[in-house]
Chains A and B, each alone.
Chain A
Amino acid sequence: MNATQTLGVLLAGNPNSGKSSIFNALTGARQHVANYPGATVEKRQGRFRVGSTVVDVIDLPGTYSLSSHSPEERIAQQALLDHESRVVVAVVDSTALRRSLVLLLQVLQAGARPVLCLNMSDEARRSGQVLDIEVLRRLLRAPVVETVGHKAQGMPALREAIVAAALSADDEQAVSLGPELDKAIVELVDALATADAPSRGRRWVATRLLIGDDATCAAVKARGLAGVRAVELAAHLREQLEARTSSDIAMLVTQAYQRRVDGILAQAVRSHPRPDARALSDKIDKVLADRFLGIPIFLAIMYAIFWVTFSVGEIPMGWIESGFAALGAWIVSLWPIGTTTPLQSLLVDGIIAGVGGVVVFVPNILLLFFGLALLEDTGYMARAAFLMDRLLSRFGLHGRSFVPMVTGFGCSIPGIMATRTLENEKDRLTTMLVLPLMSCGARLPVWLLLIPAFFAGSWRATALWGIYAAGIVLALLLALVLRRTVLRGEASPFVMELPPYRLPTPQAIVRKMAERGWIYVRKAGTTILGISVVMWALTSYPKPDTSQVDAAIASGRMVVADDSALVEAAAGVEVVSSEQADNLRAAEALQVSVAGRLGRAIEPVIRPLGFDWRVGTALIGSFAAKEVFVAQMGIVYSLGAADEESDDLRTRIRESYSPLAGLSLMLWLLISAPCMATFVVTRRESGSWKWAFLQLGGLTVAGYLVALVVYQIGRLIVG
């Protein structure tokens, strides 16, 4: 009989240790990614089989240690103490053993049954490092497996080691931190036992108490009087230790871990890596990270990525557009020619238009993510962060914010997704929230429509540049404001590892590219489908009961003739072509629809900005996607299908609004209400609705205020 047993295992390790590639290699396609509730931290789960055993794997966030300073560390710590299974795979960068093994010792203290995964073992061997695996196994009392994660080497051995560790009956190990600390920890473990604290990982909890970690102290105090006494004992012991050594507890403990690791390595390292092991990588850095060449090279690389994205992406984009157009035509052909029914309109104008608008960008998105994955996996991203940090940190951002923000010039969605590269949550959220201010590609048609309407020829380029610059400046200022208010807090550490350059495998890049692309299609796509249908309904219904256009035609006040030369109109009779008649009907229908009524309803609110109900209606329609603003303006001005090239529309706009109102409108469109896809992706990447609403609300309010101030003050000046 084959009884399947299910085991659980956690993956822990430093950032840059190749933990994700180990996770991918273990679980293959059977993964599930979500966010930890209320955090931007990702939770990855997957599973694999060994024989009749199923193993559930949870990939913990990468951490350098198990302290409680960041959400990542707190989550990892909690997971280790709470998880049913005690098996933990410590994924370690074999070329940085001295630092990486500290986490393993902490994991041991937390009561885990570890499996040491020596990743990047090929690189370590190439550098001349030779380890005695047997000695390591003996000293750690745990299986040790050498792997090369991104080539998926060593996986069978790793899987077996995991299962073996799960089935073993080993007790928790004690990690010796030196006589003085050990004595203190033993006393605290006893105190914790008296307080009836969970038996798992008491040594770890004791260490945290000794260090004075607030969260741990609070949790232990909550256990009652015995808990309070334990915390007091910890404080007393801490004072004693600090007085005796004239150092501080955090330093004492970290040094103790390091000493223990050094002791292990002294026995296990047969030969050390050559000093020139990183020579090639260092030579490359002499150029790429050069004080003078560094930034120009970086800008050139970013430009190259965007150029490839948009030029190579054109081709499949064209195919997709034709494909959707053909699909639309086919659907229309299912009905008798010339008829339109609600269902047909829903399918063609609502669904195909909406979804098509998203899917058409998929090739660009894939190419963009390919470029970003390449930057990340080679290690170049860290260099870019190093170069850009000075500029960005002045505004409360981080060197790593640069690439996501610049990506936002193309489209906010991949930009927001790219903020994953930021290790710190506050940095990530700040970047995410201000990202929509980087004027995205969808707004470009809007600028191309409005700028020539209000600016004379020689000023146009400056105006366009000015809008982009305004976006950047506002993004930086808003970041500053956020960091002083909602996202206030202790400055987050920048201290950043600069790993050697590595050549990524094609599989790894394609995998990253496909995963992000899929998220784009699924999340943005499904929600946009829903909202497109809603927007279609809002702009199409209710239909006018009586068309004034038709009434005018019926009573003779309007005559439809396509060749006006042939018609002699009596006085007071308007002659229109059939196209114009259709446009008038469309404008009428839009006014009567929900969107049109909403546009009228908000008119009093937007009039102080210089807008009228027509702009209001177009703005409501453009929540779906910014470029829809142009199309909606076309309809509302009875110009039918207009685009940004339409001189007629420009003329009408120029006639209807002052240049000041035009400026106010552009500022509004730049700042406020990111498109719904942005809203949805922000929700996903930030892990909560709170941030998505803050972004939406905050930007809308900011846009309103800026447009209001500009318009009103401008009126005072210009008159």
Chain B
Amino acid sequence: MTSVDKLHPGDRGRVTRVDGFGAIRQRLLDMGLLPDAVIEVERRAPAGDPIWIRIQDSQLSLRRKEAEFVLVDVL
């Protein structure tokens, strides 16, 4: 199990847990980052931050600090 900020473009993972608190956590949950959701890392910005991911029917970008909260099992 690892966190999304450690993944590379092309990696896929199934969300197991979402840490964090407050507004950031709620936003992660609201955008669909819930346990059992499958995400795929599309690309990273220059300097590796933010991270662009695909999740079911949408695409999102998150900062590394936010991606650290999303724990996944690599697929």
Show the binding face of A for B, using Cβ within 8 Å.
64-65, 67, 69-70, 95-99, 102, 250-251, 254-255, 258, 273, 278, 289-292, 294-295, 382, 385-387, 389-390, 393, 399, 490-499
Contacts and interface: CB of A to CB of B under 8 A. Distances in A.
Contacts of A393: 63
Nearest to B64: A390
Given A65-B30, A95-B57, A496-B61, 20 more contacts: A64-B30, A67-B30, A69-B22, A250-B25, A254-B29, A255-B35, A291-B44, A291-B45, A294-B45, A294-B46, A386-B52, A389-B50, A390-B46, A493-B23, A493-B24, A495-B61, A495-B63, A497-B31, A498-B52, A498-B60
Nearest to A424: B23
B61 A386 contact: yes
Contacts of A258: 32, 34
Interface of B: 18, 22-32, 34-35, 43-50, 52, 56-63, 65-66
A495 B24 contact: yes
A491 B57 contact: no
A99 B29 contact: no
Given A251-B34, A490-B23, A273 B49 contact: no
A137 B60 CA distance: 30
Contacts of A492: 23-24
A292 B43 CA distance: 12
Contacts of B31: 64, 99, 495, 497
A276 to B, nearest CB: 13
B26 A250 contact: yes
Contact of A495 (B28, B46, B56): B28
Nearest to A386: B61
Quick one: which of B30, B58, B60 has the most chain A CB within 10 A? B30
A552 B60 CA distance: 77
A95 B22 CA distance: 28
A95 B52 CA distance: 19
27 contacts: A69-B23, A97-B57, A98-B32, A98-B57, A251-B34, A254-B29, A258-B34, A289-B43, A291-B45, A294-B45, A294-B46, A385-B61, A386-B50, A389-B49, A390-B45, A390-B49, A491-B24, A493-B28, A494-B61, A495-B60, A495-B66, A496-B62, A497-B31, A497-B59, A498-B58, A498-B59, A498-B61
Contact of B26 (A69, A97, A292, A491): A69
Contacts of A64: 27, 30-31
Nearest to B28: A495
| The 6 nearest A-B residue pairs measured at CB | A69-B23, A493-B27, A64-B30, A254-B29, A498-B59, A65-B30
A494 B66 contact: yes
Q: Which of B44, B48, B52 has the most chain A CB atoms inside 10 A of its CB?
A: B52
A364 to B, nearest CB: 31
A496 B27 CA distance: 9
A412 B34 CA distance: 41
Contacts of A386: 45, 50, 52, 61
Contact of A295 (B24, B46, B57, B59): B46
A270 to B, nearest CB: 16
Contacts of A65: 26, 30
A69 B30 CA distance: 12
Contacts of A290: 43
Contacts of B48: 390
Contacts of B52: 289, 386, 498
Contacts of B24: 490-493, 495
Contacts of B32: 98-99, 258
B23 A292 contact: no
Given A294-B45, A389-B63, A492-B23, A497 B30 contact: no
A291 B43 contact: yes
A70 B23 contact: yes
Nearest to B62: A495
A197 B46 CA distance: 52
Contacts of A499: 58
A499 B61 CA distance: 11
A535 B48 CA distance: 52
A102 B22 CA distance: 19
B27 A495 contact: yes
Contacts of B35: 251, 255
A65 B23 CA distance: 11
A292 B44 CA distance: 11
Contacts of A382: 61
B55 to A, nearest CB: 9
A65 B32 CA distance: 12
A387 B23 contact: no
B30 A102 contact: yes
Contacts of B62: 494-496
A109 B45 CA distance: 39
Nearest to A491: B24
Nearest to A254: B29
A123 to B, nearest CB: 12
